[in-house]
Amino acid sequence: MGEDLLLMIPGPTVVPSRITRAMSAPILPHRGKEFSQMFLDQMERLKMVFRTKNEVYVLCGSGTAAMEASISNSVTEGDKVLCLINGKFSERFAEIAESFKANVIKLEFEWGDQVDVGVVRRTLYDNPDIKVVTMVFNETSTGVRNPVEEVGELVSDTEAILVVDTISALGGDVFETDLWNVDICVSGSQKCFALPPGLAFISVSDKAWRVIEGNDSMAYYLDLKNYRKDKAHAPYTPPVTLVYGLRESLDMLDEEGLENRWERHKELANIAREGLTELGFELLPLSEEICSNTVTAVKVPEGFDVSQFKRILRERYNIEIAGGQSHLTNKIFRVGHMGVITERDLYATLVCIELAMEEM
Ligand SMILES: Cc1ncc(COP(=O)(O)O)c(C=O)c1O
């Protein structure tokens, strides 16, 4: 089932056989010395990908688990949380904060546009009691890259902490946790790391730890203080197999080099944008400068049936692409080009997209 399916969706992405093989090793006891050391080593190596001196923790769960941990650990009922929203995933932060009964200020921007730094500046000025600011670096639902560096500079001058979701970009696009003043950065395994879903990563700055320590948290499974106590031994059974995969994924990343990876993703994004616009599609992001380097979203003309289009690509060509979410359903489609995707995969996808269009 799905043996040769080429996943050109924005995650989960293709898992190379090297990683699958690594994951087939026998299970080590999770409290034993060998596994604990390996687990610790991978968390240390992740710092290089996050570009941080802060501790990085590996959680068991999908990316949303780390999003939830960032909120549940730092927010209690009534706390003011500023959520910068320009797509499905940035909206999720607001939903999580609301579920923990925070006093949420939603700054909403057009889906396809970036977060407006000027509006953020004014809101922070008007609300000096904001405790947490949330944003998504690479808004997967729209293919837009947000100005984290600029927002980080603003937030660093306040008492608030900045929480950033880099789930669909970390390891594939330039991201600088420390230089950009990101206090809590969250990511996941099934995108640029080319791992199966199931691991979430989270880095925590000193400023964020001070907030977490002073917070009356409602978290239990994801209470970060417990993960910090004894880093080598996660409080609950870690997914041993996925940690083997993570080691292999980080080996592959080392072999390629992080900067080369960023460059490869940038080139793929250029090919995707050029190819799709040549086929007559219009980019959803308002300008090329704000486009993501890991996922490309394009509008479809009136009457274009995205479901049928996706079905042809899947059934005839064994290629999976993604449609739009929420109000963008049947208005756009998205092509993911992250992880171990190659130029060949992308060119093949573009040719098959053209063939599917002809068939329609
Ligand atoms: C930017 C972003 N945030 C969060 C998520 C949610 O991650 P998960 O489905 O792993 O919980 C995704 C998944 O596509 C994403 O792209």
User: How far away, in angstroms, is 168 Cα from ligand 1 center?
Assistant: 7
Determine the pLDDT at residue 62: 98
Test site for ligand 1: of 88, 134, 140, most ligand atoms within 8 A of the Cβ: 140
Secondary structure E strands in the chain: 6-7, 55-60, 80-85, 103-108, 130-136, 138-139, 144-145, 161-165, 184-188, 199-204, 282-283, 295-299, 319-320, 322-323, 332-336
Nearest CA to ligand 1 atom 7: 63
In 10 A of CB 316, how many CB atoms?
12
Q: Compute the CA torsion angle 134, 140, 143, 144 (nearest 10 deg).
A: 10
User: How far away, in angstroms, is 313 Cα from ligand 1 center?
Assistant: 24
Sorted by sequence, the CB contacts under 8 Å of residue 89 that are 6+ apart come out as 136, 139, 140, 141, 165, 167, 168
Test site for ligand 1: of 85, 93, 95, 167, most ligand atoms within 8 A of the Cβ: 167
The atom of ligand 1 lying closest to the CA of 169 is: 1
Cα-atom radius of gyration of the chain, to the nearest Å? 20
As for ligand 1, residues whose beta carbon falls within 6 Å of it are: 11, 62-64, 89, 136, 138, 140, 165, 167-168, 188, 197
**Domains with residue ranges and CATH for the chain:** 6-12+257-359 (3.90.1150.10), 17-254 (3.40.640.10)
The atom of ligand 1 lying closest to the CA of 11 is: 14
Test site for ligand 1: of 59, 60, 64, most ligand atoms within 8 A of the Cβ: 64
Determine the pLDDT at residue 3: 74
Mean pLDDT by 10 residues, the chain (360 residues): 87 97 97 97 98 98 98 98 98 98 98 98 98 98 98 98 98 98 98 98 98 95 97 96 98 98 98 98 98 98 96 97 97 98 98 97
Question: What six digits make up the tokens of 67?
Answer: 């999003």
In 10 A of CB 1, how many CB atoms?
3
Nearest CA to ligand 1 atom 8: 63
The atom of ligand 1 lying closest to the CA of 190 is: 10
Pairwise CA distance, residues 83 & 123, whole Å: 11
User: How far away, in angstroms, is 191 Cα from ligand 1 center?
Assistant: 9
Sorted by sequence, the CB contacts under 8 Å of residue 1 that are 6+ apart come out as none
User: How far away, in angstroms, is 63 Cα from ligand 1 center?
Assistant: 5
Judge residue 70's burial from the number of C-beta atoms within 10 Å of its C-beta, 0-12 exposed, 13-18 middle, 19 or more buried: buried
Test site for ligand 1: of 7, 85, 168, most ligand atoms within 8 A of the Cβ: 168
- State if pTM tops 0.95: yes
